[in-house]
């Protein structure tokens, strides 16, 4: 691995940079593998693994760890996330009152590592909108948030400028910006070949454009968190200066008052170097918005009695716990479970955005019963009345591969397939066979080595 000399030269005057240690780490140490446990589906599997000291649920795993054939991964008991980027939780805790109900936008959500972290920290009545501009990534984002099991999430597939339609709506705006990727050189050596000073300049322009497009969606007093996986000052400290001047934002200056002690503070922001922390290169900082925006008018959501939908309610009662605390809506014969407090914003987003996920998709009604959707199997809202079948490791792998397997004792009808108590998906038990409803596009491919 040969670090570009132009990058090294550009870092010489940045606090915390140690050229010899920086180069040696990149050339001789592997990128650490880390996961973050789902607090809603806690597993003891990683109890003895080394903890990520700045993350309550972060754990380091062996370099050869493979989750493909681990049913707990498919159940949403944990997700992979680069260790340094888990510091987002500390930034949120220090800059936002997480005990309050918040509207949060993860603008450049990618495949969802940050979104699942946000979902873990927010109150049930908070709303998380996770967006990615690329349709393929947005679909994976929706799958990963489905695994996490929460209801208060919406996944969109829109350009950042589209969020001007939600003027002054969000309390928190996270922009984990597309960048030149130098902080991931160890994790993805291909980024070295793609890196150049010109590429850094182009990304800095794009970062400013994204921030400008999304700024209006943040309410007065709201917090914007900005991060990159880049070492370059042009994408980090220079962007901080630009935000302060362009928008009059208050930079929430970082300090060393917390228990971590090994992060590097650079001009009031956090810089992570792999020779100083067990993680990759990362930059993160926060701002508070001072100026006001004309807020989009959204009526206060109130629980709906659903008196005209008693038949639906009684059917759903067999599938969803505490159904009277929730509401739902139907679209193209599918029914979606949502928090009543979010009904009006869901209606607004339906009209103005490309939706990939909203609340929990319950399924379709047929002959006065529900044909359940996979999202319901993965959710935290399943009724205790639902039949469950606990699978062995071998049975779970066959189920996840959609291969045939037999069950000695099982109640006929719909059953939730589980592993160590966590839902994997649906199967319908018939007299002479098992119909596997695990999504074909998510099935395990290949063989265990």
Confirm if 346 and 154 have CB atoms less than 8 A apart. yes
Distance CA 400, CA 391 (A): 11
- Residue the block writes with tokens 């639902």: 386
| 132 is annotated as contributing to ligand binding | yes
Confirm if 154 and 344 have CB atoms less than 8 A apart. no
**Other C-beta atoms lying within 10 Å of the C-beta of residue 294:** 8
| 258 is annotated as contributing to ligand binding | no
**Other C-beta atoms lying within 10 Å of the C-beta of residue 262:** 11
**Other C-beta atoms lying within 10 Å of the C-beta of residue 53:** 13
CA dihedral 192, 193, 194, 196 (to 10 degrees): 80
CA angle 165, 169, 172 (to 5 degrees): 120
Nearest-CA neighbor of 133 among 157, 104, 109, 106? 157
448 Cβ neighbours under 8 A, 6+ residues apart: 69, 397
Sign of CA dihedral 102, 228, 146, 331: positive
> Which residues does residue 176 pair with via DSSP β-bridges, in sequence order?
227
| 159 is annotated as contributing to ligand binding | yes
Nearest-CA neighbor of 166 among 214, 112, 233, 236? 214
Confirm if 181 and 232 have CB atoms less than 8 A apart. no
- Going by the annotation, the residues of the binding site are 132, 159, 176
- Going by the annotation, the residues of the binding site for S-adenosyl-L-methionine are 132, 159, 176
């Amino acid at each position: 691995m040969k670090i570009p000399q132009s990058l090294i030269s550009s870092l010489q005057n940045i606090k915390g940079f140690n050229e010899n240690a920086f180069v040696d780490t990149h050339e001789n140490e592997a990128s650490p593998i880390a996961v973050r446990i789902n607090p809603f589906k806690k597993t003891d599997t990683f109890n003895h693994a080394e903890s990520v000291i700045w993350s309550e649920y972060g754990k380091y795993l062996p370099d050869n760890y493979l989750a493909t054939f681990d049913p707990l991964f498919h159940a949403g008991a944990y997700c992979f996330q680069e260790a340094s980027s888990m510091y987002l939780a500390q930034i949120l805790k220090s800059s936002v009152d997480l005990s309050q109900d918040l509207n949060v936008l993860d603008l450049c959500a990618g495949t969802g590592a940050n979104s699942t972290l946000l979902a873990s920290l927010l109150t049930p009545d908070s709303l998380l909108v996770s967006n990615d501009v690329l349709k393929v990534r947005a679909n994976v984002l929706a799958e990963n948030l489905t695994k996490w099991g929460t209801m208060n999430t919406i996944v969109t597939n829109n350009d950042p400028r589209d969020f001007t339609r939600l003027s002054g709506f969000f309390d928190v705006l996270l922009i984990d910006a597309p960048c030149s990727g130098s902080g991931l050189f160890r994790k993805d050596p291909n980024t070295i070949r793609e890196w150049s000073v010109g590429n850094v300049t182009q990304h800095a322009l794009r970062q400013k454009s994204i921030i400008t497009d999304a700024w209006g969606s943040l309410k007065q007093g709201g917090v914007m968190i900005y991060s990159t996986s880049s070492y370059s000052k042009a994408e980090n400290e220079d962007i901080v200066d630009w935000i302060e001047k362009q928008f009059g934002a208050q930079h929430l200056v970082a300090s060393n008052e917390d228990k971590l002690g090994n992060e590097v503070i650079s001009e009031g922001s956090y810089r992570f170097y792999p020779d100083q922390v067990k993680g990759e290169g990362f930059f993160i900082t926060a701002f508070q918005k001072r100026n006001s925006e004309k807020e989009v008018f959204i009526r206060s959501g109130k629980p709906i009695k659903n008196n005209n939908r008693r038949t639906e309610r009684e059917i759903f009662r067999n599938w969803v716990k505490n159904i009277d605390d929730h509401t739902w809506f139907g679209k193209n014969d599918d029914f979606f479970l949502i928090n009543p407090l979010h009904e009006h914003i869901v209606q607004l987003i339906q009209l103005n955005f490309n939706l990939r996920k909203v609340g929990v998709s319950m399924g379709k009604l047929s002959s006065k019963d529900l044909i359940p959707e996979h999202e319901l199997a993965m959710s935290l809202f399943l009724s205790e009345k639902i039949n469950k079948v606990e699978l062995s490791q071998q049975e779970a792998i066959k189920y996840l591969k959609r291969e045939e397997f037999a069950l000695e004792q099982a109640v006929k009808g719909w059953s939730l397939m589980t592993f160590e108590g966590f839902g994997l998906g649906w199967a319908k038990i018939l007299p002479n066979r098992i119909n596997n409803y695990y999504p074909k596009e998510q099935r395990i491919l290949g063989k265990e080595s």
